[in-house]
Amino acid sequence: GDCIVAVGAFITRPLAPGERLARAAERLSIDRRQIDAWAAGQTPWSAEQLWRVAELALEQFRAAGQIARLETEVRSLSVNLATTYEEISLLHRLANNLKISQSDEQLGRIAVEWLGEVLPAAGFALQFLPVVRSDVKLDHQARNTAVLLTHGQCPLDQQQFDALIAHVKPALHGRPTVLNRSVTGHPGWPFPQVRQAIVVALVEGENLFGWLAAVNHRQDREFGTIEASLLSSVAAILGIHSGNIELYRQQSELLAGIVRALTSAIDAKDPYTCGHSDRVARISVRLAEELGCDAKMLNAIYLAGLLHDIGKIGIDDSVLRKPGRLSDEEYAHIKRHVEIGHRILRDLHKLEDVLPVVLHHHESWDGDGYPNKLSFHEIPLAARIVAVADSYDAMSSDRPYRAGMPEEKIDAIFRAGAGKQWDPEVVAAFFSARDDIRAIARGQ
Ligand SMILES: [Fe+2]
């Protein structure tokens, strides 16, 4: 850059006219008299004054150097700050999407798109590993093969990505693995299409959920710590989200296990009606679909169908297994199963949506049912639905002491009972979904 040079003349002893001054005047092309007059007017500097001037000059020089250094530092800090700001804003946006309802793949897609805006990589790859799942109906959708999401120009397909991970063996914990020319320029490097890459694991605790990679620098430069730390922050958030989903899945599985155990307890208690709970659950779901219920309601209805008669656990076997007509006293005893069931389940918070169905599935549309003689829309919809499914299965299935009713007779009973025993809208849903319901009852 520009350079300023200062020149000063310092007189340290009185000047007298002489040969040397005459030579100086000649060299500078100044008149001899003029330089003699100038020399006579000079006051010599003391050594202290000179020392002070030299010190001031040096100080000035040092300060200028300091300012230049600070300016460079400010420039690099503001670049870092901008990067940090982008990083924080990206992480903030990701954190806002950490809902359990958001699938890992949905969040992952958002993450790689955003990374594409702030990280100078040509392409990104995000792989989710398959999740080990049991075949539980209540579970979320299972993923049984690995999924590779890519963004930008990612030169790797699923198989090549697997091979890259197997070759590089990135660490599961700690720093991300940065692959620059020192690695990829090696003659034995098996992925010529990968010139630079950062690879980081998606982990939460001991669980490995997948891998996130940035592949090839857009300007063909080396990836540095800023890029690596951004990628590993994003991977950390994705790992936490996957961990949460896994925890939720385990809870659902536990709940499903509890429900299965309870359902088999009912079946063991009342072998005559074997499979009844399962059929009622499936028929109820079909009716609820016909009535336009949402996914959450369908899930609750399914559980409610399985558990609606759980209170039969508390009913005497002699009454429960008695073929033929029950005495008034026995009937009153059997009616108690709705309240017993309610008591059994009421402390399981995860099953709170099921409780109204357990308690009210024997209420009647006209208010003539039990236990609370509720009528019309006072009866929860799920209970009105399960009531129709329960009645259908009871009428259609064979019992040791009687055969199942013919379909025409069941239809006639429903037509007559719509608006009396049953909600007419649910009965209408029964008729529109009748073929499916008959197939469920036949065990198809
Ligand atoms: Fe019941």
The CA 257 to ligand 1 mean position distance, Å, reads: 22
Residues contacting residue 114 through CB under 8 Å, at least 6 positions apart: 90, 93, 94
The CA 391 to ligand 1 mean position distance, Å, reads: 9
- Give residue-wise pLDDT tens across range 324-345: 888 999 999 999 999 999 999 9
Say whether pLDDT at 301 is over 80. yes
- Give residue-wise pLDDT tens across range 111-141: 999 899 889 999 999 999 987 655 444 445 5
Q: Highest mean pLDDT: which of 79-93, 397-411, 414-428?
A: 414-428
The CA 338 to ligand 1 mean position distance, Å, reads: 7
SS (H, E, C) 126-150: EEECCCCCCCCCCCCCCCCCCEEEE
pLDDT value, residue 7: 61
The CA 307 to ligand 1 mean position distance, Å, reads: 9
User: Residue 431 and residue 115: Cα distance in Å, rounded?
Assistant: 53
The CA 341 to ligand 1 mean position distance, Å, reads: 9
The CA 308 to ligand 1 mean position distance, Å, reads: 6
Share of the chain above pLDDT 70, in %: 95
Higher-scoring residue by pLDDT: 255, 223: 223
Mean pLDDT score of the chain = 89
Say whether pLDDT at 245 is over 60. yes
User: Residue 321 and residue 83: Cα distance in Å, rounded?
Assistant: 74
Residue 48, strand partner residues: none
The CA 306 to ligand 1 mean position distance, Å, reads: 11
The CA 387 to ligand 1 mean position distance, Å, reads: 8
The CA 267 to ligand 1 mean position distance, Å, reads: 13
Overall average pLDDT of the 142-148 stretch? 84
Overall average pLDDT of the 70-90 stretch? 84
pLDDT value, residue 274: 74
The CA 129 to ligand 1 mean position distance, Å, reads: 44
The CA 219 to ligand 1 mean position distance, Å, reads: 71
**HSE-up (13 A, CA, CB side) for residue 297:** 16
SS (H, E, C) 27-95: HCCCCHHHHHHHHHCCCCCCHHHHHHHHHHHHHHHHHHHHHHHHHHHHHHHHHHHHHHHHHHHHHHHHH
- Give residue-wise pLDDT tens across range 404-427: 999 999 999 999 999 999 999 999
Nearest to 242 by CA among 92, 90, 106, 89: 106
Q: Look up residue 193 and give its amino acid.
A: Q
- Give residue-wise pLDDT tens across range 49-66: 888 888 898 899 899 999
Nearest to 310 by CA among 240, 351, 358: 358
pLDDT value, residue 31: 87
The CA 139 to ligand 1 mean position distance, Å, reads: 26
- Give residue-wise pLDDT tens across range 31-55: 888 888 888 888 888 888 888 888 8
Residues contacting residue 190 through CB under 8 Å, at least 6 positions apart: 163, 167
Residue 200, strand partner residues: 212
pLDDT value, residue 297: 94
The CA 340 to ligand 1 mean position distance, Å, reads: 11
The CA 116 to ligand 1 mean position distance, Å, reads: 57
User: Residue 390 and residue 401: Cα distance in Å, rounded?
Assistant: 19
- Give residue-wise pLDDT tens across range 146-168: 999 999 999 999 999 999 999 99
Nearest to 102 by CA among 209, 245, 203: 245
Ramachandran angles phi, psi of 226, nearest 5°: -60, -50
The CA 275 to ligand 1 mean position distance, Å, reads: 14
The CA 408 to ligand 1 mean position distance, Å, reads: 24
Each domain of the chain, given as residue ranges in start order, spans 97-249, 270-441
The CA 270 to ligand 1 mean position distance, Å, reads: 12
The CA 359 to ligand 1 mean position distance, Å, reads: 9
The CA 406 to ligand 1 mean position distance, Å, reads: 22
Ramachandran angles phi, psi of 122, nearest 5°: -70, -35
CATH entry 3.30.450.40 includes domain 97-249: yes
The CA 377 to ligand 1 mean position distance, Å, reads: 19
The CA 277 to ligand 1 mean position distance, Å, reads: 10
The CA 361 to ligand 1 mean position distance, Å, reads: 6
What stretch of H or E contains 235? helix 225-269
Regarding the domain delimited by 270-441, which CATH topology (the fold level of the hierarchy) does it fall under? Hypothetical protein af1432 (1.10.3210)
